[in-house]
Structure 1
Amino acid sequence: MNRAELAGMLNGRSEACEPAKAALLGGGDFVVWDGTAPGQRLADVYAARDRRARKRGTETLALSATVDILTQYGTTPLRPGCIFSPDRTWAFMLFLTEDARSILACTGVRRTVR
């Protein structure tokens, strides 16, 4: 998948889509992984990340909404992807259909400097 194809799929499904698209078009690194995972398994992982982010006060975009969307997909295989902002201060996780033809959910998390 190329940058333009991925940008075309970021159609505003959540408040994280526009910043993710801007990061992508601004030259941020991106990847769409070959493997898939069931929606519920991804929901469980991202629910835990949401709890940690809230506890730590980490800024997020659409993380709770993304967990809700992933939960709806149950055992359906979803393909994860990621876009980093050019300055690497944000990571945007994408969840695509198994065939990677459309984005079902998108969330952003501000990265901490280490």
Structure 2
Amino acid sequence: MDREALLRLLAEEPGAAFEACGDAIRAGADFVVWDHTIPADELTQMYARRAKHLAKIGNPMLGGAEALEQLEASGDRPLRTGEAKIEDPPTHFQLFLTADASRVVACIGIDQR
């Protein structure tokens, strides 16, 4: 997926994590969207555990609650995953897209400090 296509998809969705990820990509963040898919229910379980851990250590996920709701609403549909990373401030964005990569279903931002 090219940078402009991903920026268009991120701009279609409301939310602080989508906006922050778009800003990071526009500023030159490294990013990737993988071709393989993972069932949304598996992603829901995985990221619910991560959200609990991050909250426990005092580092909540930007857009985490909304992302978990969207993943849960996706049932067992296959989703692609992707990521974007910036160095200043060090932030990891986790992306969840439809199997055909026509929509970003959810986005999470995690402060890496």
- In the superposition, the TM-score normalised over structure 2's length comes to 0.93
Residues 68-105 of structure 1: CA deviation (Å, up to 9, x unaligned): 11011111000011111243611111110000111111
Mean Cα deviation higher: 100-109 or 79-88:
79-88
Structure 1, residues 17-73: CA drift from partner, whole Å, max 9, x if none? 111001001011000011101111001000000000100001421112111110111
What is the alpha-carbon distance in structure 2 between the residues aligned to residue 88 and residue 33 of structure 1? Answer: 24
Q: Residue type matched to 1:63 in 2? A: G
Q: How does 1:3-82 map to 2 (within 5 A)?
A: 3-11=3-11, 12-82=13-83
Cα separation, 2, equivalents of 1:93 and 1:19:
12
Q: Percent identity?
A: 36
- The aligned amino acid for 2:74 is Y
Structure 2: runs of 5 or more not aligned: none
Matched-pair contact (CA < 8 Å) for 2:34–2:82:
yes
RMSD: 1.2
Q: Contact 2:51/2:60 (CA < 8 Å) preserved in 1?
A: no
More strand by share: 2
Q: Which runs of 4+ in 1 moved over 6 A?
A: none
Unaligned runs of 5+ in 1: none
